[in-house]
Amino acid sequence: MLCVNRGDGVIGWGLKKDELVCECSELDDIIVLRKDGKAVVSRISEKVFVGKDILHVGVWRKGDERMVYNMIYTDAKSGKGFAKRFAMPAVIRDKEYDLTTGHPNNKVHYLSANPNGEAEVVEVKLTPASTARKKIFDFDFSELEIKGRGARGNVITKYPIRRVDFKESRGTTLGGLELWYDMASGRLNKEARGKRLGKFHEDDRIIAVTRGGHYRITTFELTNRYDPEKVIWLEKFNPRKVLTAVYLDGDSKHHFVKRFTIETTTLDKEFCFISEAVGSRLEYMSSAESPEVEIEVVKGKGKEKEKEVVNLDDLVDVKGWKSVGNRLSTHKVTKVTSLDEAEGGEGTEMEPEATDPDNDRGSKKKDEPEPIIGPDGQTALFQPPPPENRRESPKPLPPKSEQGNLFAEGPNQKQAEQNKVGDDKSSASGGERREDGFTPGQTVEWNF
- How far is the C-alpha of 76 from the C-alpha of 439, rounded, in Å? 136
Q: What pLDDT score does 372 carry?
A: 58
Please report, in tens digits, the pLDDT of each residue of the chain (448 residues total). 788 888 788 888 888 788 888 888 888 888 999 998 999 999 888 888 888 889 999 888 888 888 899 999 999 999 999 999 999 998 999 899 999 988 989 999 999 999 888 899 999 999 998 888 899 999 999 989 999 888 999 999 999 999 999 999 887 888 778 899 998 889 998 888 999 999 888 788 999 999 999 999 999 888 888 999 999 999 999 999 999 999 999 888 899 999 999 989 899 999 999 988 888 999 999 998 888 888 888 887 767 788 888 888 888 889 888 888 988 888 888 888 888 754 444 443 434 343 443 444 444 444 455 555 555 555 555 555 555 445 555 555 555 544 444 444 444 444 544 554 445 444 444 444 444 555 666 676 666 6
DSSP state letter for 386: P
Helix (H, G, I), strand (E, B) or coil at 141: helix
d(CA 75, CA 86): 17
What is the amino acid identity at position 179?
A: L
Look up the pTM and report it: 0.54
Query: Do residues 257 and 318 make contact, with C-beta atoms less than 8 angstroms apart?
Result: no
Measured between alpha carbons, how far is 74 from 81 in angstroms, rounded to an integer?
Answer: 4
Residue 269 contacts residue 216 (beta carbons within 8 Å): yes
Contacts of 285 (CB under 8 A, 6+ apart): 209, 232, 233, 243, 244, 245, 246, 344, 345, 346
Q: How far apart are CA 410 and CA 201, in angstroms?
A: 98
CB atoms within 10 A of CB 313: 16
DSSP for 149-210 reads TT---EEEESS-EEEEEEEEEEEESS--EEEEEETTTTEEESS--SEEEEEE-TT--EEEEE
